[in-house]
Amino acid sequence: MIYHENYQVPFFFGTQNTTISLSTLVNIMLLVSEHQLDAHDAGVEALAKRGAGWVITQYHLSVNQWPTVEQRVKVGTEALSYNKFLTYRNYWIDDESGNRMATLESTWVMMDLTTRKIINVIPEIVESVGATEATKVKHFPRIAKIQTINESLPYRVRYFDIDANGHVNNAHYFDWMQDSLGAEWLKTHQLVELDIRYEREVAYGQTPQSEYEIDAADELLTKHRIVTDGVVNAEAQMRWATL
């Protein structure tokens, strides 16, 4: 079931180069899927009544062109399929001429809000937005491991980083990972592809470390991980183009 919304990027989402950030891009896409889920009584509030919540496990993002401030775009999403534990959803953003600007593939699970453990996917929830049951497991690109840390920076989890499910909003991981690269890198490079896998939650008051490595054989590939007290919370790789 495909769902679309028209959207105009507000000026306060702009970065120094007038485009939006990675975390904003993903949040805009998620906002549209939340609207679809809410319309079918399958969103955060509906799941919370069952004592459950949505948790992202993996993203694969490709960007052809970054949206800029005040730009009018069309944001789309589609719930694809599900199995016992996983459900798959795609997102995309097109410009006013219909050119594809960005695509995002994702995998989600459901979590018990009390025990914080993964539960079986609730069929009636995902089927209400068009997902169909399937046994095939989707495989995302392999994420390269950090071999030598170039930099490790601490980021304290603030109260306003926590979302309605009681954990750090997944988009904050993008900010931590990219910010650790430094202003000079971010001013001279533009992200074109991302893969990220979430492993464990980060809790309020903790101070995770954002570690990265610029690949020795491919200077336009950066490898990232978020680590708290020796435990890996998320791993990612990012491919860049020079500006």
Residue 32 Cα distances to 48, 72, 76, 137, angstroms? 19, 15, 7, 25
Q: pTM score, two decimals? A: 0.95
Q: Do domains 2-133 and 151-242 have the same CATH topology?
A: yes
Tokens found for residue 24: 């904003």
193-224 per-position pLDDT tens digit = 999 999 999 989 999 999 999 999 999 999 99
User: How far is Cα of residue 216 from the mean position of the Cα atoms in its chain?
Assistant: 26
Identify the CATH class of 151-242: alpha beta
| Average predicted confidence (pLDDT) for the chain | 95
- Give domain 2-133's CATH number out of 3.30.200.20, 3.30.70.20, 3.40.50.150, 3.10.129.10: 3.10.129.10
What is the mean pLDDT of the segment spanning 44-72?
A: 96
List the chain domain ranges. 2-133, 151-242
Q: How confident is the model at residue 164 (pLDDT cuts 50, 70, 90)?
A: confident
Phi-psi sector, 77: left (phi>0), alpha (psi -120 to 50), beta: beta
Phi-psi sector, 154: left (phi>0), alpha (psi -120 to 50), beta: beta
Q: Give me the pLDDT at residue 198, please.
A: 97
Dist CA 225 CA 143 (whole Å): 10
